[in-house]
Amino acid sequence: MKVKDWFLFAGFVGSSLCTVAQSNGQKDYRAHKSHVGITAGALGYAGRYAVKTPLGTHTSYAVSAFYDHSMILPSQLFVRGELLFGGLRGNNLDEDVSGPQGKFNANILEATVKAEYDILNDAVTRWSPYILAGAGAYGLFNYSSSKGSKDRSDKMGFILPVGGGVKYQVSNRGRIFLEGNVRFLSKNLDNHNPDGTNNPNKYYSLGLGFSYSLQKSNQLW
């Protein structure tokens, strides 16, 4: 082996040893560990009074606040606790439909716990799509309906929210995101329940949000 080749080989070995030493002396790059955040957007009802009606007749507002915390393994898995407040409504009285007609209005308070998984590590990429699913409960109040009053027990129910979104880090601790969710297993929301038959409705949300990390990331952009 020539002298030049020996120098190249020695340089390669030396740089490799330095890399190993640095990796042993430093922690792995990790994404932010926990966040607090808020969202604002729309809450929509999907049921009999929404069929063939304009979007505005079954869509209202929604705001929420949440806290999430990443699991140890993998670091891209978060558990999120969230409270949501908003409005629900439906109205097809002015529509020419062959099915049942009516309208309702209500406010809703929802509490959920969700598992959220980031597809990418946004500590490196700055952005990531994500998916989430969980369980929770809701309560309706200030309720009114063209079908009359609603039993108190029928104003509360369990739900299974499923959704996803895209997040983007705008600073070391801040990020914005767009997220959509749909809830399953909700009870009768619109108070149309002929002959006591089961009439589950779904409702969905779409919101723009901002979150703030409670710790600095050790990833340098």
Domain of residue 10 covers 1-29
pLDDT for residue 73: 63
Q: Which sign does the torsion angle of CA 121, 171, 211, 182 carry?
A: negative
Distance CA 39, CA 27 (A): 33
Radius of gyration of the chain (CA): 25
Q: What does pTM read for this prediction?
A: 0.80
Tell whether the model's pLDDT for residue 168 goes beyond 80: yes
DSSP 141-194: EEEEETT----GGGGEEEEEEEEEEEEEESSSSEEEEEEEEEEES---SS---G
Same domain, 20 and 54: no
Tell whether the model's pLDDT for residue 4 goes beyond 70: no
190 and 48 Cβ atoms separated by less than 8 Å: yes
Same domain, 57 and 158: yes
Tell whether the model's pLDDT for residue 149 goes beyond 50: yes
Residue 220 lies in a domain: no
Same domain, 12 and 43: no
Q: Which sign does the torsion angle of CA 129, 82, 158, 202 carry?
A: negative
Same domain, 129 and 58: yes
pLDDT tens string 72-110: 666 789 999 999 999 999 999 988 888 788 999 999 999
Same domain, 156 and 199: yes
pLDDT for residue 188: 86
**Both tokens assigned to 16:** 């490799």
| Helix boundaries (H) for 26-148 | 122-125
Alpha-carbon distances of 18 from 15, 25, 77, rounded to whole Å: 5, 11, 32
pLDDT for residue 32: 57
Q: How many residues in total does the chain contain?
A: 221
Residue 219 lies in a domain: no
Same domain, 99 and 140: yes
**Both tokens assigned to 5:** 């080749």
